Amino acid sequence: MNYQASIINLLLDKYEQSRHFQGTAQVNRRVALKFNKKDFPLYDIEKVETKEAIHHAALVLQKRKLIAVEWMKYEVGNIMNRVFLNLEMLPEAYAFVQRKGKEEILTEAHHKLAVFEEQSTTPWIKGFCTAMLQEMEEKKGIPRYLPKEEENFDLLLAVLRGIEQKGEDDLLERIFSRRYLGGSKEFERKMRSRLVTIVKNFLLEGQDMEDEEVLQHIGLIKTSEDLSFFGPLVAKLHGQVINFSPFCYGASMNTEMIRNFEVGQLPISRVTTIENKAAYLEYIKNIWSASPSTHTKIQRELAAATPETALESPSPHTKTNQELVVYLAGFYSPVKRLFLEKIYNYVQDNRNPVTFYHWGDLDLGGFQIFVHLKNLIPELQPLHMDAKTLRENARFGDTFDEKYRKQLKKLLNQDEYAVFTEVIEAILQMGIKLEQEALVW
């Protein structure tokens, strides 16, 4: 083992954590490495050969004037007490172990990040870079959100650059990784968890989201994303007309279809987004079964309609086809946002009197999803998300801890959550939260 390199590296670690490096040392305190089990466990006076080898290494370093050796009292040459780093020989010490100094690493990292920050056009990424640069300057260290290793630091910048370059497009994680990081597994192995932490703290602060939802929000998906919906949507796609009315158990669109379709007709008076899949399936089942007498008539008319007449002769307005129901599955991703934007813009452009509802869990995440969705649809109203629903289904509620209580209580001070004031107070009083599944039986 190279004991000389071990001694110098440990001393340099201590120096870089000291006030000498920060430039705030008020006394001439020396940077020391104690030869005990905590600082240097390799040093064991019972193992004579190892002890002598370490003595030799330390004396060679002292001869090079990189360190000074201090022996235990009355044990000179036998038991070593401490070694001290010679601060006047710092460049030589770094060169001896072929190591870049922390100051040099910090300067290079600051320069790279400053250049990227100047080029960045995405607000949250630019804000992240600005915050990291400020912390570097104030604390003279690499912030915890950034990798200390140069290779991984550069890889993170490549990730952020890739997010900017892809724009609003959704990409599979492995395709993103291969395109911007040079290998299909680099992102998952080295950067995925770090990026999730960054996005949570600089774009989605306070949002109760799973890692996959966080990445979907910025257009990185594990598998190709499908959106499920139910209703009398008539879509135009590459010159073809597709009428979704006969899909009595729901239909779906994949990412490319959502990007390319246009709304042809949408004879509805209501749009409902639903957070939970079981609740969505039960909801559309109840809608369809509510008007069985209309099924045959609708199917007959659709079978007779040609692509040219489908837009002119949509299915008649009935309870079955006056509502569009969308399975949201949590916080919307960019592709789900695009679908909802197309629906909302069509309604606005045609001045249709449509009411928008969202049905989610009666908990922290459910309220946050509603507020997030309301940014897209200002007229949005909650459905089955009230204190009455909570009380009527209290036997199905789940308890929560004190940390969760504090997070929930904070919502009472935020104007955007005012619509939920009564139910939040009921949750806090009863000590339970309620998932949508509780209302499906």
**pLDDT tens per residue, range 1-15:** 899 999 999 999 898
Phi (first) and psi of residue 204, to 5 degrees: -120, 40
Domain assignment present for residue 177? The answer is yes
CATH code of the domain in which 241 resides: 3.40.1360.10
Judge if 342 and 418 occupy the same domain: yes
Q: Are 12 and 85 within 8 A, CB to CB?
A: yes
Last residue of a domain, one of 199, 221, 243: 221
Do 294 and 321 lie in a common domain? yes
Which residues is 253 bridged to in the sheet? 227
**Which tokens belong to 236?**
């135009």
Q: Is residue 30 part of a domain?
A: yes
Q: Are residues 411 and 278 in the same domain?
A: yes
Are residue 251 and residue 235 in the same domain, yes or no?
Answer: yes
pLDDT of 304 strictly over 70: no
- Residue 18 placed within a domain: yes
Is residue 408 assigned to a domain? yes
Q: Which of 183, 198, 221 is the last residue of a domain?
A: 221
Please indicate, yes or no, if residue 226 is contained in any of the structural domains. Answer: no
Q: Are 321 and 434 contained in the same domain?
A: yes
Question: Residues 428, 319: one domain?
Answer: yes
Domain co-membership, 272 together with 412: yes
Longest CA pairwise span in the chain (Å) = 106
- Give how many domains the chain has, as a whole number: 3
Residue 296 has pLDDT above 80, yes or no: no
Q: Is 172 found in the same domain as 66? A: no
**pTM of the full predicted structure?**
0.63
The residue type at 239: G
> Which pLDDT score is estimated for 23?
64
Say yes or no: 237 and 384 in one domain.
yes
Range of the structural domain that residue 80 is part of: 3-96
Do 238 and 356 belong together in one domain?
A: yes
Query: Residue 335 — φ and ψ, nearest 5°?
Result: -75, -35
- 172 and 240 co-located in one domain: no
Q: Does residue 314 carry a pLDDT above 70? A: no
Q: Classify residue 46: in a domain, yes or no.
A: yes
DSSP state of 333: P
Residue at a domain's end among 196, 221, 246:
221
> Quick one: 26 and 172 in the same domain?
no
On the question of pLDDT at 315 being above 60, the answer is: no
pLDDT, one tens digit per residue, over 85-115 is 999 999 899 999 998 877 888 999 999 999 9
Contact partners, residue 155, CB within 8 Å, separation at least 6: 147, 181, 186, 190, 191
